[in-house]
Amino acid sequence: MQFGIFTVGDVTPDPTTGRTPTERERIKAMVAIALKAEEVGLDVFATGEHHNPPFVPSSPTTMLGYIAAQTQRLVLSTSTTLITTNDPVKIAEDFAMLQHLADGRVDLMMGRGNTGPVYPWFGKDIRQGINLAVENYALLHRLWREDVVDWEGRFRTPLQGFTSTPRPLDGVPPFVWHGSIRSPEIAEQAAYYGDGFFHNNIFWPADHTKRMVELYRNRYAHYGHGTPEQAIVGLGGQVFMRPNSQDAVREFRPYFDNAPVYGHGPSLEDFTEQTPLTVGSPQQVIEKTLAFREYAGDYQRQLFLMDHAGLPLKTVLEQIDLLGEEVVPVLRKEFAAGRPAGVPEAPTHTSLLAAARKGQDVEDQEVVA
């Protein structure tokens, strides 16, 4: 099972000091967080993509390439890459380039974004959000798998004899997750392709997550990729820890109360009860996270949101230390202990390459026979 960090990249004033980091400070902090994730033994770092203040990460492959150069093991990913408003040709090329530079330590998560105006800013029609996600990904999927593509669609200039470059590393496209909170169409899309489905459950009650993941698992089996239990599922999480849980609550409350998205709304107590948010001791985080599989089944990837709402970098790095030292080792052991045989690990470049070679061997044998 993979554990990692995902970041939205918000520039938010620290409510306890009133200080707002500069864009440069925030961008560099995101890099420091990624490096810390590798240092403490986490598996994945994923950055959001946004094109409006107060967010900074508009250019994910630039950032991930910079991080790739300073890391050895960490898988670099996104949360999410906008499949609706980015040109699928550019996504194909940017991430193939990153694959080569990072020696295959790359996957990505498709998403539609949560900001309406981003559609017109990039010349798209928000009413076509789902249709854009469907058509653009169908093209992206082909661009990574066919050397020469002829293509015509509804939303983009036709392509005649087009080759996206560079070709994916070792001929193996990056693994794709499809992220969605509310849209069953996206779960269906992930199931159709046999791709991963990431439910960003951090602001949602468990019963909703359960229904979405169940839908994906059942449709994954429907399309013949394996059993429902073999489908590739990722979940979000949001934690703030101190050794003493009362200290965690006291320190995190002003950040919670003023956070983008849910600030000035529910109480910290209600929100921790109804959503995956855990504010408390590492042991509480372990217990709550282990319970996710009770409603989502055994899953492959757990990403934590650690660095939003104006938390200072120093605090975030302390949090990631706690996560890497006290929480994740226990989660790895416990999740592995209860895991039925036949539930796969999250695909990596290495595993996909091995599978592709095995498939090629089988094909060669069939030709010989």
Which stretches of the chain bind other proteins, using CB under 8 A? 128, 130-131, 134-135, 138, 152-154, 158, 182, 184-185, 187-189, 191-192, 203-205, 208, 211-212, 214-215, 219, 223, 262, 264-266, 270-271, 274
Report in angstroms how near the CB of residue 58 gets to other proteins at its nearest: 25
Which of residues 208 and 339 has its CB atom nearest to other proteins in the complex?
A: 208
In angstroms, the CA 27 to CA 67 distance is 11
Which of residues 163 and 274 has its CB atom nearest to other proteins in the complex?
A: 274
3-state DSSP helix/strand/coil % of the chain, to nearest 5: 45, 15, 35
Which of residues 183 and 348 has its CB atom nearest to other proteins in the complex?
A: 183
Q: Which residues pair with 146 in a beta bridge?
A: none
Which of residues 182 and 250 has its CB atom nearest to other proteins in the complex?
A: 182
Report in angstroms how near the CB of residue 212 gets to other proteins at its nearest: 6
Residue 364's contacts (CB-CB under 8 Å, 6 or more residues apart) are none
In angstroms, the CA 220 to CA 223 distance is 5
Backbone angles phi, psi at 199, to 5 degrees: -100, 110
Report in angstroms how near the CB of residue 232 gets to other proteins at its nearest: 17
Report in angstroms how near the CB of residue 1 gets to other proteins at its nearest: 25
Three-state secondary structure readout of 173-221: CCEEEEEECCCHHHHHHHHHHCCEEEECCCCCCHHHHHHHHHHHHHHHH
In angstroms, the CA 95 to CA 99 distance is 6
Place of tokens 């193939």: 96
Report in angstroms how near the CB of residue 299 gets to other proteins at its nearest: 18
Which of residues 153 and 254 has its CB atom nearest to other proteins in the complex?
A: 153
What secondary structure letter does DSSP report for 281?
Answer: -
Report in angstroms how near the CB of residue 188 gets to other proteins at its nearest: 5
> Do the Cβ atoms of 140 and 189 come closer than 8 Å?
no
Which of residues 105 and 219 has its CB atom nearest to other proteins in the complex?
A: 219
Task: Return the structure tokens found at 84.
Answer: 């609706």
Burial tier of 39 (Cβ tally within 10 Å: 0-12, 13-18, 19+): middle
Peptide bond into 54 cis (omega under 30): yes
- Among residues 126, 124, 179, 185, which one has the least CA distance to residue 155? 124
Report in angstroms how near the CB of residue 85 gets to other proteins at its nearest: 15
Report in angstroms how near the CB of residue 192 gets to other proteins at its nearest: 4
Beta strand spans in 290-347 (E)? 301-305
In angstroms, the CA 49 to CA 302 distance is 19
Which of residues 130 and 356 has its CB atom nearest to other proteins in the complex?
A: 130
Which of residues 184 and 243 has its CB atom nearest to other proteins in the complex?
A: 184
Report in angstroms how near the CB of residue 283 gets to other proteins at its nearest: 27
Which of residues 264 and 314 has its CB atom nearest to other proteins in the complex?
A: 264
